[in-house]
């Protein structure tokens, strides 16, 4: 089971590199046995689990027992918590070096820093907008070309017969394009698969997902998403924009590219997790903003997913990045469309303009909206459950890259085939008005001057289809077309999400919802009544789209604002809020949101907003990991190397203690030092003896730590001779001298609140003599979650 999880993991490359690390010759002089992985690995995991096992209260234990006794139809990999993922460190490491630097800095220095933060945010917005623009134009050009070719072909064969050749052409074209997209994703950068939103959620939550913000990921993501959309899959190009924005932000803010081996020597101050997180938030917001033309929605998305502490200036900067991003996109698209200066397409998806008259709703429609919300919640839950099973299936059987590519091609071919069949058998012909909005109207078997209505939905990029459903004249679709379309597209979209291609689920959800929403509107209009208020099914299409999307992703405030901004009209605020609220309540009753399901299936130690409500009877004593490996303030190099090389205790932070000389008392806590810091110290050989002998020896500076950030070398690559092992290292200057501590009796919610609010990575548990008794990390807190049978504890696994 553990093995299964590993294969689908977002960071399978990282595992390999880890393995490479183990194969490198051992240079650090320590004994061979201590750093190669031992079969006792599992044992150590159990040890951690055992030491912090909780005495469950009786009724809960029996509940859990009964749960365990029940046969499980699918492997519950979401009940595991991977030890593989590390935390990011959102708490400043306030060691002496840092404090000295801050104290040296003048007020003007801080002002300059603040200005450069604004510059970086502007750049992030600009570049994200450019990328969105590039994707949009590329998709439009390529898809236009494809549809033109297929359309010509269909028209050729409609009269002479032999439309199966057209079908073949369409299917092969789609498969080929999708294959390209799947190959680069599956073989070169698996982390670029999917929408990237779960990954960014995790990053902002404080989890280090390997390779998620690299340049290569960005390139693969952009090319991949173009291929998927052009390949006709039931996907959108909006979700990936959020990931792209985040990568841009992580790159720009660091002033260098490790992949390209270029260091511009700027923005060095920003080379730490705290600062980088803020920029990545801005990047994600800029991505949302470019995708939906929703700058406020972008800010709210970033905050909803990532913020642990709201800061006015930070939010304002994020908003700035968002605005610049949508503006850039808008501006360049206006040039592309030869309407320079007409800023009317602020996002990749544009819901079109809802005329204020037609969007007006009436009081008695509100129950209808709520009912639609409930339908959206139900359908969303169904979608998520199906996709969950599918994902489990994929984890088990479709984990090799070539299989993944083949599955993607299969889906592409099936999508084309199904679409073609639906169009072929549809007899919903509509007159082609003079001001028709269809880009590629297919006449097929319709009379001259008419077009096939089913083709409007299928033979089009999904964005255009959504817009048609919102705005086409009443009567453009007949109910049968819409029902068939909803049904097929629902299953196609569900099958597609999770493929090894870069693609988002926003647009397919909107499309499904818009289809059944419009159907709902048409059915309402057929009820004999005097009111002409039912006349416009486009309104119901919009509500349906919101309901379906809400039922699938379960976002709240940010989604409301995104929808409102995308419609460009605030009138709909209340109905959209009610619909999303209903969809969330109904959906949550059955299953979690799609992104949360995928996060859970990765066994990521994700921290939610609060500790589980019923966890007050747990205290830090039960939650913490112990015993903890502590280091002395002046420690032997050999001990440090051995500690770092010991894979059975793969902690990344070590409390530093000081022994009262001449006593047997346990040592007192005096600081906290990170694995990465120790590695830099070892690399630079900051040993007490060497410092004494070489008086002119350059003092280690913060810059050395920043240069190594974020890819610190593994301990195995550092050579430490036997002589050097006898040297001493003084950690005083480098450790964080004021780590946060809690007493052992602190309740779990209180520990959780401190940890989450400050974005900590390690929280030291101290007794009333200020001695270290344990260490609380993210995994210790993420382990407890509220299941259907009360508080449950996830198992830790070395996957």
Q: Tell me: does residue 309 bind a copy of itself (CB under 8 A).
A: yes
Sole window of 160-168, 249-257, 467-475, 737-745 interacting with a copy of itself (rule: CB under 8 A)? 737-745
By CB under 8 A, tell whether 281 contacts a copy of itself: no
Using the rule CB under 8 A, is 119 a contact of a copy of itself? Answer: no
Distance between CA atoms of residues 663 and 571, nearest Å? 73
| Integer CA distances (angstroms), 718 to 572, 635, 645, 685, 786, in order | 61, 18, 11, 10, 44
- Per CB under 8 A, 666 contacts a copy of itself: no
- Evaluate whether 472 touches 433 at the Cβ level (below 8 Å): no
DSSP 659: P
Residue 478 C-beta: closest distance to a copy of itself, Å: 31
Asked if residue 360 binds a copy of itself (CB under 8 A), the reply is yes
CB 791 → a copy of itself: shortest distance, Å? Answer: 9
Least Å distance, CB 749 to a copy of itself, is 8
Q: Based on the shown chain and the rule CB under 8 A, indicate whether residue 740 belongs to the binding site for a copy of itself.
A: yes
Among 134, 157, 187, 361, binds a copy of itself (CB under 8 A): 361
Say if strands 668-674 and 653-658 run parallel, antiparallel, or are unpaired: antiparallel
Least distance to a copy of itself from the beta carbon of 670, Å?
7
Shortest reach from residue 60's CB to a copy of itself, in Å: 10
Q: Does 310 bind a copy of itself (CB under 8 A)?
A: yes
β-strand 631-632 against 653-658: which pairing, if any? parallel
620-659 footprint of a copy of itself as x/- string (CB under 8 A)? ----------------------------------------
Q: How far is the CB of 581 from a copy of itself (least distance, A)?
A: 7
Residue 381's contacts (CB-CB under 8 Å, 6 or more residues apart) are 551, 586, 587, 589, 590, 591
Nearest-10 crossing angle of helices 295-306, 273-292: 140
Yes or no: say if 327 and 339 are a contact pair by the CB < 8 Å rule.
Answer: no
Does 573 sit near a copy of itself (CB under 8 A)? yes
665: contact with a copy of itself by CB under 8 A: no
312 contributes a contact to a copy of itself by CB under 8 A: yes
Distance in angstroms (rounded) separating the CA atoms of residues 531 and 641: 80
Residue 312 or 532 with smaller CB distance to a copy of itself: 312
Q: Quick check: helix, strand or coil at residue 364? A: helix
Task: By CB under 8 A, tell whether 362 contacts a copy of itself.
Answer: yes
String of contacts with a copy of itself for each residue 668-687, x by CB under 8 A: xxx-----------------
Residue 799: exposure state from Cβ atoms within 10 A (0-12, 13-18, ≥19):
buried
| Alpha-carbon dihedral sign for residues 226, 228, 234, 236 | negative
Largest Cα span, the chain: 101
Element (H, E) at 118: helix 107-160
Residue 704 near residue 736 (C-beta atoms within 8 A) = no
Contact 653, 775 (CB under 8 A): yes
Q: What is the CA radius of gyration of the chain?
A: 29
Q: What single DSSP character describes residue 504?
A: B
User: What is the nearest approach in angstroms of a copy of itself to the Cβ of residue 261?
Assistant: 34
* Pairwise CA distance, residues 91 & 84, whole Å: 21
Query: Which tokens belong to 698?
Result: 């350059």
Q: Does the protein bind a copy of itself through residue 61 (CB under 8 A)?
A: no
For a copy of itself, give the closer residue by CB, 77 or 322.
Answer: 322
Asked if 34 is part of the footprint of a copy of itself (rule: CB under 8 A), the reply reads: no
Nearest distance in Å: CB 198, a copy of itself? 16
| 343 binding a copy of itself? (CB under 8 A) | yes
Three-state SS sequence of 368-433: HHHHHHHHHHHHHHHHHHHHHHHHHHHHHHCCCHHHHHHHHHHHHHHHHHHHHHHHHHCCCEEECC
Nearer to a copy of itself, 235 or 670 (CB): 670
If one asks whether residue 754 binds a copy of itself (CB under 8 A), the answer comes out as yes
Q: What is the nearest approach in angstroms of a copy of itself to the Cβ of residue 94?
A: 6
On the question of a cis peptide bond just before residue 627, with omega within 30 degrees of 0, the verdict is yes
| 210/671 with CB nearer a copy of itself | 671
Q: Which stretch binds a copy of itself (CB under 8 A): 384-392, 401-409, 724-732, 742-750?
A: 742-750
Nearer to a copy of itself, 188 or 361 (CB): 361
- Binders of a copy of itself in range 87-116 (CB under 8 A): 92, 94, 99, 102-103, 105-107, 110
Q: Which of 70, 159, 262, 609 forms a contact with a copy of itself (CB under 8 A)?
A: 609
Check residue 742 for interaction with a copy of itself (CB under 8 A).
yes
Q: Is there a contact between 798 and 4 (Cβ–Cβ < 8 Å)? A: no
Residue from 39, 341, 528, 662 touching a copy of itself (CB under 8 A): that is 341
Within 364-403, which residues bind a copy of itself (CB under 8 A)? 364
Nearest to 125 by CA among 136, 133, 113: 133
Q: Does residue number 299 form part of the binding site for a copy of itself (CB under 8 A)?
A: yes
CA distance 563 to 466: 13
* Binder of a copy of itself out of 75, 144, 401, 790 (CB under 8 A): 790
∠ CA 378-379-384, nearest 5°, is 100
Q: Note whether 750 binds a copy of itself by CB under 8 A.
A: yes
Cα–Cα distance list, 763 to 130, 673, 798 (Å): 41, 12, 22
Of 4-12, 370-378, 436-444, 665-673, which segment contacts a copy of itself by CB under 8 A? 665-673
Q: How far is the CB of 244 from a copy of itself (least distance, A)?
A: 21
Q: Which residue's CB is nearer to a copy of itself, number 79 or number 201?
A: 201
C-alpha to C-alpha distances, 549 to 38, 337, 386, nearest whole angstrom: 47, 30, 16
Q: Is residue 33 close enough to count as binding a copy of itself by CB under 8 A?
A: no
Q: Which stretch binds a copy of itself (CB under 8 A): 9-17, 190-198, 536-544, 567-575?
A: 567-575
Tell which positions 535-564 bind a copy of itself, by CB under 8 A: 556-557, 560-561, 564
With H, G, I as helix, E, B as strand and everything else as coil, classify residue 628: coil
**Count of residues touching a copy of itself (by CB under 8 A):** 85
């Amino acid at each position: 089971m553990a093995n299964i999880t590993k294969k689908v993991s977002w960071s399978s490359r990282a595992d390999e590199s880890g393995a490479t690390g183990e194969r490198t010759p051992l240079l650090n002089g320590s004994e061979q046995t201590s750093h190669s992985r031992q079969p006792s690995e599992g044992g150590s995991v159990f040890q951690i689990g055992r030491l912090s096992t909780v005495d469950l209260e009786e009724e809960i234990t029996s509940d859990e027992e009964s749960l365990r006794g029940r046969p499980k139809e699918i492997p519950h990999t979401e009940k595991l918590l991977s030890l593989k993922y590390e935390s990011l460190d959102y708490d400043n490491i306030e060691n002496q070096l840092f404090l000295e630097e801050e104290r040296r800095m003048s007020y003007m220095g801080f002002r300059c820093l603040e200005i450069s933060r604004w510059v970086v945010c502007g750049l992030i917005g600009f570049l994200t907008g450019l990328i969105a623009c590039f994707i949009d134009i590329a998709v439009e050009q390529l898809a236009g070309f494809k549809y033109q070719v297929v359309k010509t072909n269909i028209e050729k064969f409609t009269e002479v017969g032999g439309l199966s050749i057209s079908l073949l052409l369409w299917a092969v074209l789609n498969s080929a394009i999708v294959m390209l997209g799947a190959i680069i994703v599956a073989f070169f950068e698996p982390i670029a698969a999917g929408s990237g939103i779960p990954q960014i959620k995790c990053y902002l939550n404080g989890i280090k997902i390997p390779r998620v913000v690299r340049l290569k990921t960005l390139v693969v993501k952009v090319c991949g998403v173009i291929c998927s959309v052009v390949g006709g899959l039931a996907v959108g190009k909006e979700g990936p924009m959020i990931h792209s924005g985040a990568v841009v932000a992580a790159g720009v803010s660091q002033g260098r590219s490790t992949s390209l081996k270029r260091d511009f020597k700027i923005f060095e101050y920003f080379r730490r997790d705290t600062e980088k997180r803020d920029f990545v938030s801005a990047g994600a917001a800029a991505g949302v903003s470019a995708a939906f033309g929703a700058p406020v929605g972008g800010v709210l998305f970033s905050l909803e997913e990532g913020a642990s502490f709201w800061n006015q200036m930070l939010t304002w900067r994020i908003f700035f990045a968002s605005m610049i991003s949508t503006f850039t996109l808008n501006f360049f698209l206006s040039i592309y469309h030869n309407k320079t200066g007409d800023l009317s397409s602020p996002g990749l998806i544009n819901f079109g303009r809802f005329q204020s008259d037609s969007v007006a709703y009436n009081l008695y429609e509100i129950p209808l909206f709520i009912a639609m919300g409930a339908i959206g919640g139900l359908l969303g839950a169904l979608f998520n459950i199906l996709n969950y099973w599918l994902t489990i299936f994929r984890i088990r059987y479709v984990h090799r890259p070539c299989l993944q590519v083949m599955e993607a091609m299969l889906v592409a071919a099936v999508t084309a085939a199904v679409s073609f069949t639906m169009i072929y058998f549809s007899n919903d012909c509509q007159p082609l008005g003079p001001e028709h909005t269809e880009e590629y109207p297919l006449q097929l078997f319709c009379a001259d001057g008419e077009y096939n209505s089913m083709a409007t939905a299928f033979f089009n990029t999904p964005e255009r289809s959504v817009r048609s459903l919102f705005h086409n004249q009443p009567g453009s679709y007949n109910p049968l077309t819409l029902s068939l379309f909803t049904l097929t597209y629902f299953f196609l979209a569900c099958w597609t999400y999770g493929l090894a291609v870069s693609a988002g689920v926003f647009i397919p959800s909107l499309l499904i919802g818009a289809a059944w929403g419009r159907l709902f509107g048409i059915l309402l209009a057929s009820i004999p009544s005097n009111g002409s208020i039912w006349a416009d099914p486009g309104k119901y299409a919009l509500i349906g789209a919101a309901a379906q999307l809400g039922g699938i992703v379960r976002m709240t405030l940010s989604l409301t604002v995104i929808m409102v901004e995308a419609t460009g009209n605030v009138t709909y605020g209340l109905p959209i809020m009610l619909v999303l609220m209903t969809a969330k309540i109904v959906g949550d009753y059955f299953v979690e949101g799609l992104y949360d399901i995928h996060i859970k299936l990765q066994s990521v130690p994700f921290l939610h907003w609060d500790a589980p409500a019923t966890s007050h009877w747990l205290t830090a004593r039960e939650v913490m990991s112990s015993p903890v490996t502590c280091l002395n303030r002046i420690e032997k190099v050999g001990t440090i190397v051995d500690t770092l090389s010991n894979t059975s205790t793969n902690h990344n932070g070590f409390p530093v203690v000081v022994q009262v000389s001449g006593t047997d008392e346990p040592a007192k806590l005096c600081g906290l030092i990170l694995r990465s810091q120790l590695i830099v110290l070892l690399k630079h050989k900051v040993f007490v003896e060497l410092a004494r002998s070489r008086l002119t020896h350059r003092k280690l500076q913060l810059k050395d730590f920043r240069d190594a950030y974020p890819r610190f070398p593994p301990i195995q690559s550092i050579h430490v001779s036997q002589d050097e092992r006898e040297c001493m290292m003084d950690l005083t200057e480098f450790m964080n001298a004021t780590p946060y501590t809690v007493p052992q009796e602190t309740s779990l919610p209180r520990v959780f609140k401190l940890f989450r609010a400050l974005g900590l990575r390690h929280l030291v548990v101290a007794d009333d003599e200020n001695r270290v008794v344990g260490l609380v990390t993210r995994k210790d807190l993420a382990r407890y979650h509220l299941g259907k049978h009360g508080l449950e504890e996830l198992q830790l696994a070395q996957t």
